[in-house]
Amino acid sequence: MATDTQDPKSEFRKNQSWLYDTQSGTYVRKSLIGLLTLVVFTYVLFPLYWMVVTAFKTTAEIQQIPPTVFPEDPSLQGFRMVVMSSLQTSGYDAFFEQSFGWEISSAIDIDILTLILNSLKVAVGAGLIALVLGTGAAYVLSQREFRGKNAIMSLLLASLMFPGTAIMVPEWELISTLGLFNTHLALILIYGAMTSPFVVWLMKGFFDDFPDSIVEASRIDQCTPFETFWYVLVPMARNSLIASFIFAFLLAWNELVFALTLLDNSKFTVPPGLLTFVQGFNTQWNVVAAASIIISLPVLAGLAYIQQYFVQGLTGGAVKG
C-alpha cells in the first residue's frame, strides 16, 4: 500500500478499481446506487403512502380490484366515519342533532375519542412517574460512587429487555392478585416501571456530561446536594427532561401486550382498541387508515421534537447521537 512515491495522489488513483477509474465505471456505480436508493426507500415509504392514500379513498374505491394507486375520487369519508362513530358511541349524537340539526349516524363502531383519552391518561401518568423517579436516581448514580452501583445499572439495563411478551403471564397473575385488573392504574405502574430505567440511563448521560465546575460553584455558594439538583441541574436539564418524558409517553402510547391482556374492552387504550377494530368483521380499511393517521399524529409530533435524542434513548445512552 504505502510506498515512497513522491505523489500520493497518483498512487491513490492507481489503486482504484475499474468502477472508480473510468467514465463508464462511474455511470455503472451511480446508476447502481440510484437504483438501490429507490428500492430501499420505496420499501420504507410506500406503506406510509399507502396508509395516507387509503384514508382518502371512498369505501367503494377500497374494494376495487386491482387497487388504485392514486385515489380517483379523494374524499374524507373515512375520517368522517371515525368522528361520527366516536360521537355516537360517546352519546353526543343527540346533542349535535338538537343544537345544530346534524344527523349523526354511523354503521361502524370505533370510539376513538375514548380510546385516545384512555391512552392519554395512561401515557401521561407513566411519563410523570418515570420522569420523577428516574431523574433523582440518575443524579445519584451519576454523581456518587457507592457499593452496588454497577449492579444496579446493569439490572436496570437488563430490565429494559424483558417487558412485554416474556412476562405477560405472570404480570397478569400479579395484577389480578393486587386487584388492579382492568384498571388504568395497573398500566400506569407497569409502564412507569418499564420506562423509568430508560429515563435513568438517558438522564445519567446528561448528568455525566454536565460540567463539574457548575456543580462545584453551587457547592461553594453553600448549596446542599438537593438544592444543587433542584435549582441548578433540573432547570439546565430541561430539554433532556422533556425528551425523557416524550420517550416514556410514546412507549405507553404504543404498547399493546399489557393493554390487551390487562384490560377489558370498556377500558381499552388506543393499540388494543384499533386492533379489535382491525380484526373485527368486515373491516373498512379507509376508516382504519383514517383512525391510524389520527392516532399517529402525537407520535410524529413527538418524533420531530426528540429526534436528536433518539439514538441515545434507544440504546440506553450507549451511543451518543
Partner 1 sequence: MSYVDNAQASYEHAIERVPEGVRVYLPILPVMSLVGVFILYPIAQAIYSSFFDKDLLSPAEAEFVGLANYAEIWTSETIHQVLWNTFVWVAVGSIAAIVLGFLMGWLLYEKLPFTSVASAIVLIPWVLPRVVGASIWQFMFGGSQGIINELLVQLGVIDEYIVMLGSTDLSLWPPIVGMIWRLAPLFALLTLTSLQGIDEHLYEAARMDGATPWEQFRYITLPMMRYNLAIGFLLMLIYNIRNFSMVWVMTKGGPGVSSSTLPVMIYRTAFVDFNVGLASALSMLLFVVLLVFSYYYIQVYDKVQGEF
Residues 24-53 interacting with partner 1 (rule: CB under 8 A): 33, 36-37, 40-41, 43-45, 47-48, 50-51
Q: Does 95 help bind partner 1 (rule: CB under 8 A)?
A: no
Shortest Å, Cβ 161 to partner 1: 4
Other residues' Cβ atoms within 10 Å of the Cβ of residue 51? 16
Q: Does 74 help bind partner 1 (rule: CB under 8 A)?
A: no
Q: Does 16 help bind partner 1 (rule: CB under 8 A)?
A: yes
Closer residue to partner 1 in complex, CB, 28/94 = 28
Residue pair 105/171 in contact (Cβ under 8 Å)? The answer is: no
Closer residue to partner 1 in complex, CB, 26/97 = 26
Shortest Å, Cβ 142 to partner 1: 11
What is the identity of the amino acid at 250? L
Closer residue to partner 1 in complex, CB, 90/143 = 143
Angle between helices 93-100 and 77-89 (to 10 degrees): 110
Q: Does 196 help bind partner 1 (rule: CB under 8 A)?
A: yes
Whole-angstrom CA distances from 226 to 53, 152, 193, 215, 241 are 53, 22, 24, 11, 17
Q: Does 114 help bind partner 1 (rule: CB under 8 A)?
A: no
Residue pair 138/200 in contact (Cβ under 8 Å)? The answer is: yes
Closer residue to partner 1 in complex, CB, 15/24 = 15
Out of 11, 121, 124, 128, which residue is the one contacting partner 1 (CB under 8 A)? 11
CA distance 127 to 130: 5
Contacts of 110 (CB under 8 A, 6+ apart): 82, 85, 86, 89, 273, 274, 277, 287, 291
Site for partner 1 in 132-191 (CB under 8 A): 133-134, 136-137, 139-141, 144, 146, 152, 154-159, 161-174, 176, 189-190
**Quick check: bond before 66 cis, omega within 30?**
yes
Q: Does 234 help bind partner 1 (rule: CB under 8 A)?
A: no
Q: Does 94 help bind partner 1 (rule: CB under 8 A)?
A: no
Show the cell assigned to 183. 384498571
Closer residue to partner 1 in complex, CB, 22/94 = 22
Q: Does 200 help bind partner 1 (rule: CB under 8 A)?
A: yes
Q: Please, what is the Cα angle at 117 between 113 and 119, to 5 degrees?
A: 115
Residue pair 160/198 in contact (Cβ under 8 Å)? The answer is: yes
What is the identity of the amino acid at 112? I
Q: Which of 298, 288, 297 lies closest to 81 in space, CA to CA? A: 288
Shortest Å, Cβ 218 to partner 1: 15
Closer residue to partner 1 in complex, CB, 103/264 = 264
Site for partner 1 in 249-308 (CB under 8 A): 250, 253-254, 256-257, 261, 270-272, 274-275, 278-279, 285, 288-289, 292, 295-296, 299-300, 302-304, 307
Q: Which of 108, 94, 65, 66 lies closest to 283 in space, CA to CA? A: 108
Out of 26, 31, 182, 224, which residue is the one contacting partner 1 (CB under 8 A)? 224
Shortest Å, Cβ 90 to partner 1: 21
